[in-house]
Structures are given as structure tokens and as C-alpha cells.
Chain A
């Protein structure tokens, strides 16, 4: 999946991010860069997405659009690519959230084009 790797690599560079993973809804990695344990991070990413969806269901809301975790060392962004895929981006401390979201949306659009 050369195209996917290129999209993710570009996303990392544009957002001052450290790691990225694209997982399917079963938690299997489709592509990953700089994650120490691709399988674990993909499974946890898909789990967080699922749990968040179930959480918001309790308030009669639609599925969550994104999950943003703010840590002392920067943001972790999890965003649904489509019904079957989810993206996780681990950003550096100095990364700007606005830029992250902008480039994540762009990456998602391009990833979806790969699977058309």
C-alpha cells in the first residue's frame, strides 16, 4: 500500500507528529509509521473509537466525529476515516491542533480515494 504510506508520511511531516496508524474496525493495522507495536496500537485505536461511539449512543447522539486526547506531551487524535477504517495520529508537544485537524481531514479524504 504505497499510496497509504505516502499519505501517512506526509501527514506526519505536515503536523509535527511522531506516529500514525490506520486501522480497520477489527483493530488490524493497514498502515503504520513509528508505532512501536502496530498491532497493539491499531487494536486500541479501534477500541477507543468503538467505545466512544457506544458512549455517545447513550445520549442519542450520532457516531463521534473525532476523539482528541490532550496530554502533557501533545495531542493524540483519533478520527473515523469511514465505516471500516480509523486513523490515529500522535502529535508532538508543539503541534497546533488546528493544523492537525486540517491535515487529518485532508489525509482522510485521500485515504478514502485510495479505497474507491
Chain B
């Protein structure tokens, strides 16, 4: 996916996953496997405890989604973080459009997972190991969030563009003619 490559280029060098980060993640596959149940349960308990996020799921879907999340964790942590892996994360953005998983839901839940992962790491691992895992995980989470959120935004516009025939440049221009009005309407939030 060309978009994936473009988005990966946007990530500042020091925030990219380096070889040592990948090694740290790969080396902790067993740690993640041992925590998968905790992470998955907490993730869906949190989503189902809130009416807005619960609405994303259809009746009886939770076990299927729990399995998917567990698979995502295993495939991610044990993975190579190659082009295919990042393209997969970009594709998730399209799935999220389909399922109406808006970026606010996605961002807040990724932060929840990060909180759990880091908390469990410091509970179970030596401090320096936990710190290395925290760094690697937060880099990974940041990249995944970037890809999914921007892919959601991009493909949302692509869908509008393809349905209406309005080119992306023109859509961008339509936004630009309105954005000043939006700024004006919300100027009370503007910093001086």
C-alpha cells in the first residue's frame, strides 16, 4: 500500500521502531502471551461498560473480537514489522470505517492497552527490562495509531471522492473554504 509507505515516512526517525526495539518486543512474546487474557478481558470489559462503545458490536460478537485481539497481540509481538505488517495496520483503518470505530474510540482504547502492558511489565519484569519494553511498546503503539487514524481519515475521503467524483484536491479545497468559518465560530478556544 503506497499510503503506508507515505505515512511511515512521516514518522520522525527517533520514534521509529529500531532493530533493538523489535528484538525487545519479540523477546517478550511469552510475557504478552501470559498477559493476553488480562489485556483482552479488560479491553472488552471497558468497551462493553460504555453505551457508545458497546453499540459498535453486534449481539454475540464479543468472543469473535476477543479472539481477533489476542491474534493481533501474538502476530504483532512475534512479528517482523515488515511492509506487510504495516500495510495490515493501514487496512485496519478501512475496517474501522466499515464498523464505525471512530478514531476517538481507537485512540482511547490503545492508551488503555498501553497502560495495562506497561503496568504488567513493571509488575513482572526487572525495572530496566520493563523500561525497554515500555519504550518499544510505546513506539509500536504510536506507529499503529498513526497508520490506523490517518488511514481512516484518508479512506473516508477516498470513499467520498470515488462516490461523488469530486477529486481529493477539490475536496481539500472545499474544506479550506470552510475552515476559516469553523475557526471563527470556535475562536474562544484560540490561544493568544
Contact = CB atoms under 8 A, between A and B. Distances in A.
Contacts of A54: 163-166
Nearest to B181: A40
Contacts, number: 44
B183 interface: no
A90 B176 CA distance: 23
B33 interface: no
A8 to B, nearest CB: 20
Given A39-B177, A40-B177, A43-B177, A26 B170 contact: yes
Contact of A47 (B163, B166, B176): B166
Interface string A39-78: 1100110110011011101000000000000000000000
Contacts of A37: 177
A26 B164 contact: no
Nearest to B166: A50
A28 B172 CA distance: 11
Interface string B119-144: 00000000000000000000000000
Contact of B164 (A25, A27, A28, A50): A50
B46 interface: no
B173 interface: yes
Range, interface on chain A: 10 to 19
A25 B165 contact: no
B170 A43 contact: yes
B173 A43 contact: yes
Contacts of A44: 174
Given A27-B170, A46-B170, A51 B177 contact: no
Contact of B174 (A25, A43, A53): A43
B165 A51 contact: yes
Contact of A50 (B165, B177, B178): B165
19 contacts: A25-B167, A25-B170, A26-B170, A26-B173, A27-B173, A39-B177, A40-B178, A43-B174, A44-B174, A46-B166, A46-B173, A47-B166, A47-B170, A50-B166, A51-B164, A51-B166, A53-B165, A54-B165, A54-B166
Interface of B: 163-167, 169-170, 173-174, 176-178
Interface of A: 25-28, 37, 39-40, 43-44, 46-47, 50-51, 53-55, 57
